[in-house]
Each structure stands twice: as structure tokens, then as C-alpha cells.
């Protein structure tokens, strides 16, 4: 019986092996380039995240990996630098790259924070595969702007209709789950980051 299965399916298995090998070659050849593209894209967002667009900012500085107590979550952190007096660059904020589950697929965000990580200064969406026409409205600048100025200590909630409290974000209509997912990712990333902030500041 077993040989019967093999007789039926050998072509599928052989093709799967060949195609798998071909894709591995593709990944080895282009993987680093794709990662570099993503990294450049993330860096190009930083000036808009920490202060207003067109600001005199250079996305420089070291990246720091942060892991929480369970060692499960790792964030890439950027120092948002600004040209200060005498050509020295001064840090004016932080940008945390966070990833978490959305409605359809993982959502990747950049969260801008002020120097003391007390206020969220901006939000950018690096990657998302939410429903076109509904959930993908989380990319819209007008929606993301709601996050700027929120206190970093609180828990953000997505609500239907007009928000009444400071910690509320108006959900994209028809996409409450996508909106809440973004809030959850931001909440967790900011909380994790704030817990590790003293260590990061010591390294300066």
C-alpha cells in the first residue's frame, strides 16, 4: 500500500524538493538585500515619528535589542538624533520597532517616544496585510496621528465612535479588531520599553 502512495505521489514529492531548493537559493541570494531595504525604510520614517515632518533630524545611533523577563520579545530600538550645537548630535527621542498579530497577519509598527518615554510622539506602519479598504486604513496618516501626544504610561483602547477619554483611540470603522491590534502592540511595546529604559540610559 505504501509503495502505492509513493507511485502516485513521487512527482509531487520530487517537485516539492526541487522547488524548495530553488527557493532556498533565492532566499540566500536576496534575503539580506530585502532586510536592508526594510531597515532603510524604517530609518527613513524616524524624522516624522519624533517631531514634525521635515525636521532637522538624522536617524543615527545604536540599535538596542530589548527582551522582557521571559526572553520572548525582542524590539529593535533607534535613538532619534538631532543636530545640536557645535555639530554634535543630541538625542531627542526613541523609536521602537514592534510587531504583533493583527486581524489577518502580523502588523509591524514603529512607535516614536520622547526622551523620557513619557509621551508617544508618532506611529508608523511598516508592514500590514489587513483587509484592503477596511483594516488597511490603519496606514492612513490621519488615523495614526491620533497616537501622537498620548501618555506612554496608559493603556490605549480602540473605541467605536468618538473617543471620550484620553486613552481612547477612534477605531477605523469596520475594522475594530485591526485598530485594537495596533493599540495592543503599542501598549505592550511601550510598557516593555519603559521597563528597560533605565538600563538603556545608563549605557549612554
Partner 1 sequence: MAKDGPTPLERFIHGIIPENPVYRQLLGMCPTLAVTGNMAAAMTMSAAVLFVMVGANVITSLIRGLLKPHLRILIFTLTIATFVTIADKFLAAYVYQMSKELGPYVPLIIVNCIIICRCEVCASKQSLRAAVADAVGQSIGFALALASIATVRELLGSGSWFGIELFWRKGTPGEACRWAIMNQPPGAFLTLGLLLGAAVWIALAWNKRTKVNI
Is residue 165 involved in binding partner 1 (CB under 8 A)? Answer: no
Determine, following the binding rule CB under 8 A, whether residue 17 of this chain makes contact with partner 1: no
Q: Which is nearer to partner 1, 22 or 74 (CB)?
A: 22
Q: Which pairing describes strands 120-127 and 89-101: parallel, antiparallel, or unpaired?
A: unpaired
What burial class does residue 146 get, using C-beta atoms within 10 Å of its C-beta: 0-12 exposed, 13-18 middle, 19+ buried?
A: middle
DSSP characters for 55-95?
-SEE--S--EEEE-TTS--EEEEEEEEEE-GGG-EEEEEEE
By C-beta, is 12 or 165 nearer to partner 1? Answer: 12
Q: How far is the CB of 155 from partner 1 (least distance, A)?
A: 30
Exposure class string for 18-55: b at 16+ Cβ within 10 A, else e: eeeeeeeeeeeeeeeeeeeeeeeebeebbbbbbbeeee
Q: Choose between 105 and 118: whose C-beta lies nearer to partner 1.
A: 105
Residues 36-65, one symbol each (x = binds partner 1 by CB under 8 A, - = not), give -xx-xx------------------------
List the one residue from 9, 24, 151, 191 that touches partner 1 (CB under 8 A): 9
CA–chain centroid gap for 19, Å, is 32
> Residue 103 and residue 177: Cα distance in Å, rounded?
6
- Tell whether residue 15 is a contact of partner 1 (CB under 8 A): yes
**Secondary structure of residue 101 in the 3-state scheme:** strand
Name residues whose C-beta falls within 8 Å of residue 154's C-beta, 6 or more positions apart in sequence: 166, 167
**Residue choice 5, 22, 141, 145 for contact with partner 1 (CB under 8 A):** 22
| Among positions 5, 24, 34, 118, the unique one binding partner 1 when judged by CB under 8 A | 34
Region of 80-88, 126-134, 155-163, 176-184 interacting with partner 1 (CB under 8 A) = 126-134
If binding is defined by CB under 8 A, does position 133 make contact with partner 1? yes
Q: Which residues of the chain form contacts with partner 1 (CB under 8 A)?
A: 8-9, 11-12, 15-16, 19, 22-23, 26-27, 30-31, 33-34, 37-38, 40-41, 129, 132-133, 136
Amino acid at each position: 500500500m505504501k509503495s502505492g502512495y509513493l507511485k502516485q505521489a513521487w512527482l509531487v514529492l520530487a517537485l516539492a524538493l526541487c522547488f524548495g531548493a530553488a527557493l532556498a537559493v533565492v532566499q540566500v541570494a536576496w534575503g539580506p538585500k530585502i532586510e536592508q531595504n526594510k531597515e532603510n525604510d524604517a530609518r527613513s520614517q524616524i524624522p516624522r515619528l519624533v517631531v514634525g515632518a521635515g525636521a532637522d533630524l538624522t536617524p543615527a545611533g545604536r540599535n538596542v535589542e530589548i527582551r522582557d523577563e521571559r526572553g520572548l520579545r525582542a524590539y529593535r530600538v533607534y535613538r532619534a538624533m538631532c543636530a545640536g550645537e557645535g555639530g554634535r548630535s543630541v538625542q531627542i527621542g526613541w523609536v521602537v520597532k514592534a510587531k504583533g498579530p493583527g486581524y489577518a497577519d502580523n502588523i509591524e509598527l514603529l512607535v516614536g517616544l520622547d526622551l523620557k518615554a513619557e509621551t508617544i510622539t508618532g506611529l508608523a506602519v511598516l508592514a500590514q496585510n489587513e483587509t484592503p479598504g477596511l483594516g488597511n486604513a490603519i496606514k492612513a496618516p490621519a488615523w495614526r496621528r491620533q497616537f501622537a501626544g498620548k501618555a506612554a504610561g496608559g493603556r490605549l483602547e480602540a473605541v467605536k465612535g468618538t473617543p471620550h477619554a484620553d486613552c481612547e483611540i477612534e477605531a477605523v470603522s469596520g475594522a475594530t479588531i485591526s485598530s485594537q491590534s495596533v493599540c495592543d502592540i503599542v501598549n505592550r511595546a511601550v510598557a516593555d520599553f519603559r521597563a528597560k529604559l533605565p538600563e538603556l540610559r545608563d549605557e549612554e
